[in-house]
């Protein structure tokens, strides 16, 4: 590799690692600043642009109470997803006169969390955020919302898919609500598979997919011009594949980090081989926000790759006259794949005023109602969070004409639950660094995962 290319990769890696590790590096600083701001500011201070009862009660009396309360909603969605979010916000604002949601768009999910760190430290928080952090909730940075659920008779907690709802709980108390579910599935070009005589069901294992990818890859002049497959950048795809081979994050007693076990090493080494040695797969990385994600999608849509592994929520950006969807593969001898199916959660910062917390819950409840969760699933491909959505007439009609919407649901029936990192994200941080080393730097998986295990184990041991 040329020196300037190596330097460029190292710069991108360093920027990426800094962004990832920054999420947890200011925990102590936040605690100190919270103590300072608690002494120097009023408990209802926030940056949500409140134009309602809480902000005008001193001057307006009863008249002020009739004014709608304005709240900021922070989220990191772009492209078609961002457009659909704006449409739903507009629909909510027009549906009632008590709450106005003001969208504040971030570049990505991680950036939303980084900005929230700074907001908490300053004491000026949004009322609603598309983000969840169990460690922060345990420290009191997010509001507990069980009382809101109890008081709202229309919420119907029993209708929310239990596994999604439980992901927002800590010690049985609800801190986050699931706005939509997600799992990573496979999208393939129909013409690429047909050209080589493959059907989606022929690619039910990673071994079979790799064999097909090798046959579909095209090289010209020593360069790959058409890739057989493109895994999505980040540790997620490789974590899913390792879980499908029987890998686990921790030992049964929870005392030992297991990410350097044979199941992990064998799986991640195959990805390294496919990307670097065989060059039948590649990844896009770096850039701003979701740039790498959309470059991956573009490769497939523009005919530069046979398929890619991406979010169920990509469906709104895809042309299904060109592509099809299928479940993630398993491994020979291990049955179906076990990719993670998780809920994208929303929370209410504890420092928001009581009025704004109530307003934020009203917005979340609206987003989650049967009609809207079904519509969100139809428009985006994400999984609806209510069981009743499956009987929604619009959803039923759509699924009959667009069968790809059922692929995430089918995959979720044999999916893995999200791993709740007891170290507050340090195990995931170690895995993300290891993934960069394997996917980008071409470091043997055994070496990268050994280093990751040692780093993660130190963090786990500190909890004893």
pLDDT in tens, the chain (464 residues): 444 444 444 444 455 444 444 434 333 333 333 333 333 333 333 444 333 333 333 334 444 457 999 999 999 998 889 999 999 999 999 999 999 999 999 988 889 999 999 999 999 999 999 999 998 999 999 999 999 999 999 999 999 999 899 999 999 999 999 999 999 999 999 999 999 999 999 999 999 999 999 999 999 988 899 999 999 999 999 999 999 999 999 999 999 999 999 999 999 999 999 999 999 999 999 888 889 999 999 999 999 999 999 999 899 889 999 999 999 999 999 999 999 999 999 999 999 999 999 999 999 999 999 999 999 999 999 999 999 999 999 999 999 999 999 999 899 889 998 998 999 899 999 999 999 999 999 999 999 999 999 999 999 999 97
Pairing relationship of beta strands 176-189 and 307-311 according to DSSP bridges:
antiparallel
Two tokens, residue 437: 């080393």
Q: Are 182 and 311 in contact (CB under 8 A)?
A: yes
Q: Which residues touch 376 (CB under 8 Å, ≥6 apart)?
A: 84, 88, 179, 180, 367, 382, 384
CATH 3.40.190.10 holds for 26-181+342-412: yes
Helices (H), 156-309: 162-166, 190-195, 206-216, 236-244, 262-272, 291-301
DSSP code, position 313: G
pTM of the complete model beyond 0.85: no
Q: Tell me where in the chain the CATH 3.40.190.10 domain(s) lie.
A: 3-13+183-341+419-461, 26-181+342-412
Residue 51: which residues within 8 A CB-CB, separation 6 or more?
67, 68, 69, 70, 100
Half-sphere exposure of 112 (CA within 13 A, CB side): 26
Count Cβ atoms within 10 A of the Cβ of residue 249 and give its class: 0-12 exposed, 13-18 middle, 19 or more buried.
Answer: buried
SS3 for 454?
Answer: helix
Q: Which fold has domain 3-13+183-341+419-461?
A: D-Maltodextrin-Binding Protein; domain 2 (3.40.190)
Q: Give alpha helix (H) positions in 67-205.
A: 79-95, 109-122, 134-138, 146-151, 162-166, 190-195
């Amino acid at each position: 590799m040329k020196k300037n290319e190596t330097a460029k990769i190292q710069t991108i890696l360093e920027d990426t690692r800094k962004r990832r590790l920054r999420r947890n590096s200011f925990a102590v600083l936040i605690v100190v600043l919270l103590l300072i701001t608690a002494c120097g500011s009023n408990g209802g201070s926030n940056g949500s642009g409140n134009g309602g009862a809480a902000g005008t009660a001193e001057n307006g009396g009863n008249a002020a109470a009739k004014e709608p309360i304005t709240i900021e909603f922070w989220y990191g969605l772009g492209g078609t997803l961002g457009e659909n979010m704006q449409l739903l916000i507009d629909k909510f604002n027009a549906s009632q006169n008590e709450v106005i949601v003001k969208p504040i768009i971030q570049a990505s999910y991680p950036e939303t969390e980084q900005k929230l760190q700074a907001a908490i430290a300053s004491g000026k928080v949004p009322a609603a955020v598309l983000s969840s952090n169990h460690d922060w909730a345990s420290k009191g940075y997010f509001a507990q919302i069980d009382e809101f659920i109890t008081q709202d008779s229309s919420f119907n907690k029993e209708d929310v898919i239990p596994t999604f709802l439980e992901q927002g709980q800590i010690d049985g108390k609800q801190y986050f609500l699931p706005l939509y579910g997600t799992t990573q599935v496979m999208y393939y070009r129909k013409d690429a598979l047909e050209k080589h005589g493959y059907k989606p069901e022929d690619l039910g294992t990673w071994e079979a997919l790799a064999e097909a990818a090798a046959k579909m890859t095209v090289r010209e002049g020593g360069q790959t011009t058409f890739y057989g497959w493109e895994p999505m950048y980040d540790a997620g795809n490789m974590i899913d594949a390792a879980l499908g081979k029987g890998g686990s994050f921790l030992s049964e007693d929870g005392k030992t980090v297991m990410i350097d076990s044979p199941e992990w090493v064998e799986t991640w080494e195959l990805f390294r081989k496919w990307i670097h040695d065989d060059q039948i797969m590649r990844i896009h990385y770096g850039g701003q926000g979701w740039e790498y994600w959309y470059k991956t999608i573009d490769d497939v849509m523009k005919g530069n790759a046979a398929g890619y592994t991406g979010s169920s929520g990509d469906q709104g950006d895809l042309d299904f006259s060109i592509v099809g969807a299928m479940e993630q593969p398993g491994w020979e001898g291990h049955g179906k794949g076990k990719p993670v199916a998780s809920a994208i959660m929303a929370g209410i910062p504890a420092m928001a005023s009581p009025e704004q917390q109530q307003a934020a819950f009203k917005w979340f409840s609206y987003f989650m109602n049967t009609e809207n969760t079904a519509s969100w699933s139809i428009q985006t491909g994400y999984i609806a969070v209510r069981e009743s959505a499956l009987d929604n007439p619009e959803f039923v009609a759509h699924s009959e004409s667009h069968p790809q919407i059922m692929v995430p649901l089918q995959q979720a029936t044999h999916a893995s639950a999200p791993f709740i990192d007891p170290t507050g994200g340090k195990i995931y941080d170690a895995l993300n660094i290891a993934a960069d080393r394997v996917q980008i730097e071409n470091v043997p998986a055994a070496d990268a995962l050994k280093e990751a295990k040692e780093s993660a184990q130190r963090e786990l041991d500190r909890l004893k």
